[in-house]
Chains A and B, each alone.
Chain A
Amino acid sequence: MSPEIRARQITHRMALLALLALLAAAAFLLLNARGSWDFLLPFRGRKLAALAVVAVAIALSTVVFQTVTQNRILTPAIMGFDALYVLIQTGLVFGLGAGRVSALDARLVFGLELGAMVVFALLLFRWMFGPAARNLHLLMLVGIVLGTLFRSIAGFLQRIIDPDSFTVLQDRLFASFNAVDPGLLTLSALIVAGLALILWRLVPELDVLALGREAAVGLGVPQERLVLGLLVIVTLLVALSTALVGPVTFLGLLVANLAYLLLPTGRHAVLLPAAALIALITLIGGQALLERVLHYDTALAVVVEFAGGLVFILLVIRGVAR
């Protein structure tokens, strides 16, 4: 295939993805509209915005993380963040009781979660990047094992809280796009946009990093500092999306691998927006389908985890994700 044809193919596919994302958004806003538009549009608009912020954050963080770790089947989301979120929520319900937790200021809880996750990640990075070792696989494994620790403690607490509180907790543990505070949404959108801008400026460095550590050092990229900086950005994105709606673990894997599959290029100037668009289509389109067409009221995240995980495994076995 000549480079011109390939370039045109990439342009076409990007345009198609953008179109699909727009269609998904339109379907989500307009389908099955019953009642007053004045009420419906702002309500649905807010939910759409929450979905969009989370989709972009997850897509960007996964692609960047996979470039940094040089592999396509890992995701930052399994590095203990989800478990920490579960532990914080369980601890709150256990310590304060379901009633008082529901009455808490959403911003306070959001800040607490975001802060705890960022501090956790920074401590982890500091420790792992301390003496000599810069082994990202080790870093991930330590994160996951710490996650098991958090989950063990949370599991114990969940056993001894009363069933009513557990019902409240259960709903808080799954990602939910319904009850996002508008103030928080604006703040998160701004942070995600800022981080996306930084990543956009780092696109050439990301392209070089994908060649591997040694090639990157050879080409004069400040490898260690850059990797640390990128990991901090990834952490912020994952923590933000988790604190906003709850843990979404496997969506990132799915969209990143679909992006690699649809757009055969190593250029991050293409991969980053493509993954973001696919995430938007999946989340918004999925929500529109579930809510408007199937009238299904399960938390979308549970379905996304289920379907995303399965499709991802299929991709791996078929040898597509490498």
Chain B
Amino acid sequence: MPEPHSPRPSSQQPGPAARLLFPLALGLTLAMGLASLFVGVSSVSPTLLWAEGGTGPATEVFLTSRLPRTLALALAGTGLALAGLVLQVLVRNRFVEPSTVGTTESASLGILLVMLLAPGLPVPGRMAVAAGFGLAGTGLFLLVLRAVPQRSALMVPLIGLLLSGVIGAVTTFIAYRTDMLQSLGAWSTGDFSVVLQGRYELLWIVAGLTLVSALFADQITVAGLGRDMAIGLGVNHRAVRALGLVLVALLSAAVIVTVGIVPFLGLVVPNVVSLLMGDNLRRTLPVVCLTGAALVMACDIVGRLVVRPYEMPIGLTMGIVGSAAFLWLLTRRRGHVA
């Protein structure tokens, strides 16, 4: 049998440290948000904005670029961390997130097909297609999971990554045949430097989806305890599971369509939060969302600073930070994972 998700008992933790986590995460997110507003190539500072009094070049940069970018970062971080959290609860495995179960790769395939077959489709349509493909990919993953006996918790992400690879090969094949390879690489790498006013608003959908997740937090937690337990507690297991998967697909698709792929964020943030405060979704959800937002903003700020005046795309910074954190999580207590 696979190691169950083994929810950490929440009775252990809620010491003072756990109670401090929410204000801490909130403070961190606000600090990162402020930093993100005022760090960049062109100088924008609160005093400069005040001096311009509403109109001027700094105000212009602030309103059309910095503010949208910061909001986009916060929303994308929230969305991805939340998607990872919901997926981990539903699949009952700590090492799943959209990019380790095929959701991300499938959504990319959907976007590529839209670009080839219906290039004129407006962004919301593109997102809907991506979400549909993402959902189908996640469903395929669950199907494969059921067909393969798993003797170790690590088999689940291995199967997912393998499946992602296969879907990626399909995408690559199509892109190769149609000469879209470099542009595929360009838009699929997560990058916030392209976010301007008018090009990120779709991400507000994340806020709505977060609200929905919060409303269903208890049901999702119970569904994560397994089918029998859910039925015993009077929760419609199938429906809640389906809702969760749709949430995950929509969240991933919204982020991929607007900014591209940001790997491993959904894996790292919920795991770290779970280590600190257990697995009760109702309590961890706000902290996971805030920490996700803070981490994405931090990575983006680092990307803006290290190779000035150029920028490192977040796909790369997060690829490095996320891989390192994933490795740490994997090897942290070796004896236990197997």
- Which A residues fall within an 8 A CB radius of B? 71, 73-75, 78, 132-133, 135, 137-138, 140-142, 144-146, 148-149, 151-153, 155-156, 158-159, 163, 166, 170, 174, 249-250, 298-299, 302-303, 305-306, 309-310, 312-313, 316-319, 321-322
Contacts and interface: CB of A to CB of B under 8 A. Distances in A.
Interface in B78-127: 95
A138 B334 contact: yes
A61 B151 CA distance: 23
A276 B315 CA distance: 39
Nearest to A315: B147
B186 A149 contact: no
A306 to B, nearest CB: 4
B251 interface: no
A65 to B, nearest CB: 13
Given A156-B312, A305-B172, A138 B323 contact: no
A196 to B, nearest CB: 26
A310 B159 contact: no
Counting chain B residues whose Cβ lies within 8 A of the other chain, the interface size class is: 35 or more
Given A133-B335, A148-B319, 15 more contacts: A73-B159, A135-B337, A138-B337, A141-B95, A148-B322, A149-B320, A155-B315, A159-B313, A170-B182, A305-B172, A309-B166, A316-B148, A318-B147, A321-B148, A322-B149
Contacts of A321: 148
B319 A149 contact: yes
Majority SS at the chain B contact face: helix
A73 B148 contact: yes
Contacts of A322: 148-149
B242 interface: no
B331 A138 contact: yes
B328 to A, nearest CB: 10
10 contacts: A74-B162, A135-B154, A135-B334, A137-B152, A141-B158, A144-B158, A145-B330, A148-B323, A166-B182, A306-B169
A142 B166 contact: no
Contacts, number: 133
Interface of B: 95, 140, 143-144, 147-149, 152, 154-155, 157-159, 161-163, 165-167, 169-170, 172-173, 176-177, 181-182, 185-186, 189, 263-264, 312-313, 315-316, 319-320, 322-324, 326-327, 330-331, 334-335, 337-338
A77 to B, nearest CB: 9
B166 A313 contact: yes
B334 A250 contact: no
A146 B323 CA distance: 7
A306 B165 CA distance: 10
Contacts of B155: 71, 137
Contact of B335 (A132, A299, A302, A306): A132
A108 B331 CA distance: 36
A152 B323 contact: yes
A322 B162 CA distance: 15
B161 A78 contact: yes
A250 B323 contact: no
A155 B173 contact: no
Contact of A309 (B154, B169, B264, B330): B169
B327 A145 contact: yes
A298 B177 contact: yes
Contact of B166 (A144, A145, A152, A312): A312
Contacts of B161: 78, 141, 144
Contacts of A305: 169, 172-173
A153 B323 CA distance: 12
Contacts of B316: 152-153, 155-156
B169 A250 contact: yes
B331 A142 contact: yes
Nearest to A311: B166
Contact of A163 (B157, B182, B315): B182
Contacts of B162: 73-75, 78
Contacts of A137: 152, 154-155, 158, 338
Contact of B323 (A140, A145, A303): A145
A74 B158 contact: yes
A152 B189 CA distance: 8
B216 to A, nearest CB: 30
Contacts of B315: 152, 155-156
A156 B189 CA distance: 8
A148 B263 contact: yes
Contacts of A166: 182
